[in-house]
Structure 1
Amino acid sequence: MTAADTQIQKALRRVRRPQPLRNRELLLLLFALALSAGAVVLVQFGAVGELQPGIFVGLGIVGFLTLALHVVLRIRASQADPFLVPIATLLTGLGIAMIHRIDVYNATVDAHIAAPSQIAYAGISIALAIALVWALVNYRVLFRYTYIFGLTGIVLLVLPFIPFLNGGGNAVVWINVFGFNFQPGELAKICLAIFFAGYLVRTRESLASTGRRILGFTFPRAREFGPLIVVWLISMAIIVLQRDLGTGLLIFGMFVTTLYVATGKTGWMLTGVVLAVAGAIGASFVLTYVHNRFDTWLNALDPALYDASDGGSFQLVNGIFGLAHGGLFGTGLGQGRPYLTPVSQSDYIFPSLGEELGLVGLFAILCLYLVFTARGLRIGVLGQDDFGKLLATALSFTLALQVFIMVGGVTRVIPLTGLTTPFLAAGGSSLVSNWLIVALILRISDAVRQQPRAVIG
């Protein structure tokens, strides 16, 4: 018997063995797929009054791929968390349904149609997640390439500055490859998360215990803290030049949180918050586009700002009006007017869903994000491997912070920044990166559950 035959027999035994976690995942996944398909059906009946079956071919392929991911998990990661894939599937499905709803209107005015490309990117994203789960048998191998991932993250952020790759737009964040626009910063945040986690595992003891003590804080020596600060400063400088405030805030939050978890020093978290607030206020005085964001946030209902042709508050106020129109239970899928808000399928997907699903529907969506984040953080807390703990925490917190930034921005809690709502908003690069995050956390959770005495409910 060859080694390949032995591996196949082991895989078959794992499949035949009762897997309560995977059975739970299958039931939740089927429920998520049914809800997604039902949302598209309601959109079509609500918006056009009849069923148009064309879109269901693409949805069927996406559903097949999610089931394929489930099968791969049964074979390669039988102890992985059972909630992550169903939650990501449902959020992706709801996003496609709302994008399709806006497409129904856009088709009548010859505007851009986004749902077909979103479905295609969803299929590509899930296929890449399948490949990552299958190939990455031991996630700890990433630890060996800590510095390579740090360098890769910086290179990805630099790519939009290359003239023949630049994809255009006000923010220098897109690259164009063979006619397709992609935002490399979405992948850069994953690479930098791996770098931060790997570097802090190597230096956490020195960062936490050695150095000079000033005003109650222990500041680490430059030789341990220097490389980390250099990578972070380079990343921040690139982002400022790109006029991409959202990604800058996201990477800064990930940096501070990972540092806090690694060292256990509350001072780092407080220092990070102070620096973020000071930096934002300073940027509002120095950078015109940041000042305009603050002005729009503070004076959104000013008639002059609302009627401004460029950089006004029309989009923000219309999104809030849409939320108000939805009320508690919403107008019903396909029966609202979310298309009145500019880019309602991407930046303003959350108010679009709020108008047609209401406050109750938005709370349900936020609960999905809450459960996803809680599972990721719990995996990090209970892990016995420092690298996996930091990586799972960094990735989970980054997704949660991105949700807060976007939801807070469109509801006028904080100034709006240029990010996408994870899984929901139209955008292929965001969808790819978020599904890769799902795959990495799945791999970490499988390893955690197989550790002695590691039990996650």
Structure 2
Amino acid sequence: MSDVLTVPRSRRNVEAALLLLAFAVAVGANFVAGLEREEPFNDYFWRQASTLVGMGILVHLILRIRAKYADPVILPIVIALNGIGLAMIHRLDLPRIENPDFVPVAPQQLTWTAVAIVAASVLLIFLRDHRILRRFTYISLIVSAVLLLLPLTPIGLPINGARIWINVGFGTFQPGEVAKITLAIFFAGYLSTNRDLILLAGKKIGPLQLPRFKDLAPMVAAWLVSIGVLVLQRDLGSSILFFGLFMAMIYVATSRVSWVLIGLAMIGVGTFIALQLFSHVALRFDSWLNAFDPEVYNRAPGGSQQVVQGLFGLANGGLAGTGFGQGRPDLVTYANSDMIIAALGEELGMIGVFAIILLYILLVSRGFRAALGTKDGFGKLLACGLSFTIALQCFVVIGGITRLIPLTGLTTPFMSAGGSSLLANWIIVALLLLISETARRPVRTAAPRESAAVSSASGRGALPRRPKEGSR
């Protein structure tokens, strides 16, 4: 019996065409940003263009060689988002560039972009199969604990009231950004191994099938970790992200709504306790609910000025925006990091923001598509968890800026200033590409004619003999 290959198209040429469009968007945005000061072709323009184009081509060539069946849409989307973020950060630097005490952020972000893409490339080269990561399930848990505890050590740095950074000599780094990846690996490994135990029937209350008490231990542990991050590091955003990640992955693993309801109940309890015990959480909620109160607006720290100015910027942008370089996003605090969506909304308008959100939706949907296509449970859970992480970050950030929910300290993936976030999210992209390559890789199947012949030959002896005439 011989084998034949069911070979799908690699679609790397499609990726190359989409990359050209992504390069045009990224480089074009930076060109328009420079027009404000009539210096569109300055040194930074050429550095940004050469870095993005060169690094994008590098990853594309690696995929052609090592993972030629990977999803062709993910890389162009991320290049476009990263390029738009670099252009906006550069545009926000320009009004203060003549100040001798000002340190431009855009060159640092460009350096981190190169480092992040190199890290993703190394991962694509040396990690041939994502299933290898399943061997490191509990090691990932230990690494996650170490990463989350590092800011509490002497090398930790409190910045803006949150203790989530560490000093790495040449700058600061946020270990929690990497911890979301290692936690996703742990959750995927644990849930894919223990899914059958978790699905054992517990008590049934009405239409809900509740899990057994001892099976709640992982969720309780995740809840306690989230509360610990909130208490010790004073970081509401990471707390929401870690617990939301586990809730999403356990729902994907079990398909039980009861887990989601229990998780929401635990979030409610945790929020109530945090409001009663921690003043910084109470101030965040007060700034959310009473943002336009003059007393709350002018309160320092913990006031609502940042949120309100962001809303005014979005309103000023209207439908089509003021034009790149024509607004005043610099009036918003941390416009290049926490509030970069507000800056983009003012100058690109609602149409531009919707286009950016659509890119994120496409990116997340391609991650879920990779999860559906791969056959191993670990890969499905890991792709779902990593994709949901990006989706949850976008929801929390945009929801906070538009005052749908309280503002948190999370960054907008690939766009906000911050090397830690950029590095972690590019590693997530590399993992999603690897999983999508496994999902679309050719599979050996038996040749139809030979398999049919073998089946008939093997089945002849099992056929019942024809009874003799007259016999019963």
Both proteins in one fold, TM over 0.5: yes
1:72 alignment partner in structure 2: 62
Query: 1:21 maps to which residue?
Result: 11
Q: Is contact 2:144-2:182 (8 Å) kept?
A: yes
CA contact (8 A) 2:238 2:410 kept: yes
Counterparts of 1:278 and 1:362, CA distance in 2? 34
Q: Counterparts of 1:238 and 1:302 in 2: how far apart (Å)? A: 30
* Shift in CA distance, 351/231, structure 1 to aligned 2, threshold 3 Å: closer
Deviations 1:207-260 (A, max 9, x none): 1124444564332352x5535643552354134310011011011111011001
**Aligned: 1:305 with 2:300:** no
1:44 corresponding residue in structure 2? 34
The answer for the alignment partner of 2:44 in structure 1 is 55
- Where does 1:227-376 land on structure 2 (aligned, <5 Å)? 227=218, 229-230=220-221, 233-376=224-367
Greater Cα offset, 362-371 or 31-40:
31-40
1:405 equivalent to 2:402? Answer: no
Residue pairs, 1:51-450, within 5 angstroms: 51-59=40-48, 60-109=50-99, 110-166=101-157, 168-213=159-204, 216-220=208-212, 222=214, 224-227=215-218, 229-230=220-221, 233-450=224-441
Q: More displaced, 310-319 or 445-454?
A: 445-454
| Separation in structure 1 between the aligned mates of residue 279 and residue 96 of structure 2, nearest angstrom | 33
Larger-gyration structure (1/2) = 2
Structure 1 pair 24–95 and aligned structure 2 pair: CA distance change class (3 A): same
Partner of 1:11: none
Secondary structure of 2:164's match?
Answer: coil
* 1:342 CA displacement: 0.9
After superposition, the C-alpha distances for 1:282-324 in whole angstroms (9 at most, x for unaligned) are 3222211111011000111111111223211111111111111
CA contact (8 A) 1:167 1:176 kept: no
Listed one character per residue, the Cα deviations across residues 107-139 of structure 1 (whole Å, up to 9, x for unaligned) are 244434110000000000000000001111011
Compute the RMSD of aligned alpha carbons.
Answer: 1.9
1:25 aligned partner, one-letter code: E
| Mapped partners of 2:326, 2:44: distance in 1 | 19
Among candidates 11, 21, 24, match of residue 34 of structure 1: 24
Measure, in 1, the Cα distance between the counterparts of 2:411 and 2:244.
Answer: 16
**Matched residue SS, 1:174:** strand
In structure 2, the CA distance between the partners of 1:280 and 1:244, relative to structure 1 (3 Å rule), is same
Cα distance per residue 1:171-218 (max 9 Å; x no partner) = 010001113100000000000000001000111111112444456433
Report the Cα distance in structure 1 between the residues aligned to 2:332 and 2:103, rounded to whole angstroms.
Answer: 14
User: Partner letter of residue 83 of structure 1?
Assistant: V
Mean CA deviation greater in 418-427 or 54-63: 54-63
Separation (CA, whole Å) in 2 of partners of 1:130 and 1:241: 35
SS at match of 1:175: strand
Displacement of 1:453 in angstroms is 10
CA–CA separation in structure 2 for the residues paired with 1:34 and 1:87: 12
* Residue matched to 1:14: none
Q: Distance in 2 between matches of 1:355 and 1:107?
A: 21
TM-score (norm 1): 0.91
Number of aligned residues: 436
| One-letter identity of the residue aligned with 1:57 | W
- 2:60 is paired with a residue whose SS is helix
